Amino acid sequence: MAFIKKIIGLGVVLAVAGGAYFMYWSQNPIIPETAEAIDFTIVPGSGAHAAGQQIAEAGVPIEPLLFNLLARVTNKSSRLKAGSYELKPGSTPMRLIEQLARGEFAQEQLTIIEGWNFRQMRAAIAAHKGLKHDTVALSDQEVLKAIGSDYKQAEGLFFPDTYLFAKGSSDLQIYKQAHVMMLSRLNDAWAKRDPALPYKSPYEALTMASIVEKETGQKSERSMIAGVFVNRLRLGMLLQTDPTVIYGMGLKYDGKIRKKDLETDTPYNTYTRAGLPPTPIALPGVQSLTAALSPAKTAALYFVSRGNGTSQFSDNLNDHNRAVNQYQR
């Protein structure tokens, strides 16, 4: 009897010691604060035991049996979500279980730059290693169709911003987010517009915004630039803006625009064709959208670069010519 009591006592001691170790293990960092984060993926259909094995096989120093036990005692074994994750330095087993139960996937980000054209946007998305590339073989029109857009031309229809997404997400998610955001921003600005503006549709306003975006990097001048172009539209004058000519040249543009380029007719040459070009020429930001739909009230019809990033505005051709002579020759 004494022997049995000793065995029972030893078992109790071992159980208490084991429980204490388990609690200690669950609350202490898996990797130290000074270590690098470790990426891992849980495949769909994985239970707690399989998830623990996948985590360990990815290089996370964790015992799958203890991970499985922790998931069960916390009642989270059936709530672990498949996906790509990142184990951050200092994370504990308990924090890891919570991360998987909440589906806190590894976050990636991609920045779309104001003034990029759609070709540049597609190249940046295609080069991002954190995305699943479902659109590489699709045409621009097929991308629009895949995200449920009714538009036929993609240029200008995506809002430049920084987008966060779970690692391994489809690149279609970025296109859809950026498209929805652009339409939202455009419609908001359109609803606040002056009805007297010479735009027949929000799309025409978007086209103007893209021109403003490419004409100046000075945020303070965008409303004045828009005001000049609106004045020209109202008077039936040619817009005569170089960025549209450059866009029409496509890959032929080598960084310089020549007299023959200004004289070569394309649908985007605003030196040879009146009115707005048929589509936007870039991805405008919110300030250019605002400028296009709330342009400065000005009599200016011309502007020329001063060579320092700002522009000289003129109300008549004589003043404009003097400004050209002063700043460009």
Question: How many separate domains does the chain show?
Answer: 3
Residue 75's domain is classified under what CATH number?
Answer: 3.30.1490.480
Domain endpoint, select from 187, 220, 245? 187
Domain endpoint, select from 57, 73, 102: 102
Whether 9 is covered by a domain: the verdict is no
Do 207 and 226 share a structural domain? yes
Are 53 and 177 in a shared domain?
Answer: no
Question: Residue 12 CB: number of other CB atoms within 10 A?
Answer: 10
Tell me, yes or no, whether 242 lies in a domain.
yes
pLDDT, one tens digit for every residue, the chain (329 residues): 554 554 554 455 445 555 678 888 989 999 999 999 999 999 999 999 999 999 999 999 999 999 999 999 999 999 999 988 999 999 999 999 999 999 998 889 999 999 999 999 999 999 999 999 999 999 999 999 999 999 999 999 999 999 999 888 999 999 999 999 999 999 999 999 989 999 999 999 999 999 999 998 788 899 999 999 999 999 999 999 999 999 999 999 988 999 999 999 999 999 999 999 999 999 999 999 999 999 999 999 998 888 787 888 899 899 888 988 888 76
Tell me the residue range of the domain where 136 lies.
107-187
pLDDT confidence of residue 107: 85
CB 91 within 8 A of CB 129: no
303 and 213 together in one domain:
yes
- Asked if residue 289 and residue 268 are part of one domain, the reply reads yes
**Inside any domain, residue 3:** no
Does residue 133 lie in a domain region?
A: yes
Q: Does 174 reside within a domain?
A: yes
Write the DSSP symbol of residue 237.
Answer: -
**One domain for residues 238 and 281:** yes
| Residue 8 in domain | no
Distance in angstroms (rounded) separating the CA atoms of residues 257 and 246: 7
Which amino acid type is present at position 65?
L
**Residue 3 confidence (pLDDT):** 47
Does one domain contain both 256 and 143? no
DSSP state of 112: P
Q: Which residues of 85-124 are buried (b: 16+ CB within 10 A; e: fewer)?
A: bbbbeebebbbbbebbbeeebbebebebebbbbbeebbee
Alpha carbon distance 244, 65 (integer Å): 64
Note whether 133 and 71 are same-domain residues: no
One domain for residues 206 and 323 = yes
pTM for the model: 0.81
Same domain? For 199 and 293 the reply is yes
Helices (H), 75-139: 93-102, 118-127
Point out the domain boundary residue: 102, 126, 145: 102
Name residue 269's amino acid: N
Give residue 217's pLDDT: 79
Same domain membership, residue 313 and residue 205: yes
Is the same domain home to 217 and 309? yes
* 32: in domain: yes
Instruction: Give whole-number Cα distances, 56 to 30, 34, 42, 45, 257, in Å.
Output: 11, 20, 11, 17, 58
Are residue 217 and residue 278 in the same domain, yes or no?
yes
**Three-class DSSP category at 203:** helix
For residue 52, tell me if it sits in a domain: yes
